[in-house]
Amino acid sequence: MGSWGRLLLAPVVLLAGCTAAGAPATPATPAASAPTGCAARVEEGRLPDWADAGFSGDTRMPHVFGAKGEIVAVLFGQPLAVGRTAGPSNKILWVARPAATPSPDPSAPATLVITATLDGTTTRVTREVAGGPGPSIVDVPRAGCWHLELRWSGRADTMDLVYVAA
């Protein structure tokens, strides 16, 4: 085989190695229920310094950062589960990064409002944490990837959390 043949064959071989052998094709789904992707990324390392107040010793806890880095969800009931009847609850400690400047709207309620939408659906629930970021139990009606819009004290961030069936 000439050098051109080897040059053209290399990308084909590399791409073939990136596919799942024998995996059945996934049928197309209607756009209304098409998933938009799940960016849930549970970190297992230490909490950032700004989020570890009240913890002592090793602060390695499962946690998820907001997309803007303004808030972190510390997961005590990992994995989060729907329909759990025993074991830990879906306890989440919400810790907001200290604001660099005073709230843009001092009259904005401190309550943390969580608007969660199940990926690929129109299923939406709202949860509130009185007093702003802090300890909470956040349950949702179905397993899957939930896109969360978080609003508190004139601030906002987003994150994805995955809930599994119990």
Q: What is the mean pLDDT of residues 71-83?
A: 93
Q: What is the mean pLDDT of residues 58-73?
A: 95
**What per-residue confidence (pLDDT) applies to 37?**
81
**What per-residue confidence (pLDDT) applies to 3?**
46
Better-predicted residue by pLDDT, 32 or 125: 125
**What per-residue confidence (pLDDT) applies to 48?**
92
Q: What is the side-by-side order of every strand in the sheet holding 135-137?
A: 63-65, 71-75, 91-96, 135-137
- Work out the pLDDT band at 65, boundaries 50, 70, 90: very high
DSSP state of 51: G
**What per-residue confidence (pLDDT) applies to 54?**
83
Burial 135-155 (b: 16+ CB within 10 A, else e): ebebbbeebbbbbbebbbbeb
Q: What are the Cα distances from residue 50, in Å, to 1, 12, 44, 75, 78?
A: 60, 48, 16, 16, 22
**Average pLDDT of the residues of the chain:** 80
| Cβ neighbour number for residue 88 with a 10 Å cutoff | 13
**What per-residue confidence (pLDDT) applies to 108?**
74
pTM of the model: 0.74
The string of pLDDT tens digits covering residues 86-129 is 878 999 999 999 987 765 666 777 899 999 999 999 999 999 99
Q: What is the mean pLDDT of residues 2-23?
A: 38
Backbone angles phi, psi at 6, to 5 degrees: -65, -40
**What per-residue confidence (pLDDT) applies to 9?**
38
Q: What is the mean pLDDT of residues 13-17?
A: 35
Better-predicted residue by pLDDT, 105 or 64: 64
